[in-house]
Amino acid sequence: MTKKNKKTNPALISLINELKKQANEKEAPIWKDIAKRLEKPLRNWPEVNLEKISKYTNDKETALVPGKVLSDGDLDKKITIAAWSFSEKAEEKIKKAGGKKITIEELMKSNPKGKDVRIMG
């Protein structure tokens, strides 16, 4: 194994490979960027609060967190948030605000070109 790919979570390895494949096939550099971020050590992954997501996204955008979404602050927009993981409280607040939480994989399938996606973290 190369030093770069020391991940042991099969779901994560699969996602990283799928992101790279999608980036090449669809000529969407956003997916390659996300794959690189997910290859970094877990301790370097971002943890983003809802307050920050709410502050830096627009209504029709999708927020993408290559890490974990935490519940600090409030969400005042009906936006879709894609992330590797969510805290339980964050999930509740997203639902309450009328937003939607999805996996990075779901986002990649529903938006192959990565249009109107804002990377957070």
> In this predicted structure, what is the pLDDT of residue 4?
56
| Distance between start and end Cα atoms, the chain | 28
What is this structure's pTM?
0.91
18-68: pLDDT as tens digits: 999 999 999 999 999 999 999 999 999 999 999 999 999 998 889 999 999
Range of the domain at 95: 10-119
CB-based burial label for 77 (10 Å; 0-12, 13-18, 19+): middle
- Whether 16 maps to a domain, the answer reads yes
Burial class (CB in 10 A: 0-12, 13-18, 19+), 87: middle
Cα-atom radius of gyration of the chain, to the nearest Å?
A: 14
Could you tell me if residue 5 is inside a domain?
no
Whichever domain contains 25, its CATH number is 3.100.10.10
Beta strands 80-86 and 62-70, pairing class:
parallel
For residue 4, tell me if it sits in a domain: no
Q: Is residue 34 part of a domain?
A: yes
Residues with Cβ within 8 Å of residue 24, at least 6 apart in sequence: 32
51 is a domain residue: yes
In a domain, 57, yes or no: yes
> How many domains does the structure of the chain reveal?
1
Instruction: State mean pLDDT over 75-103.
Output: 96
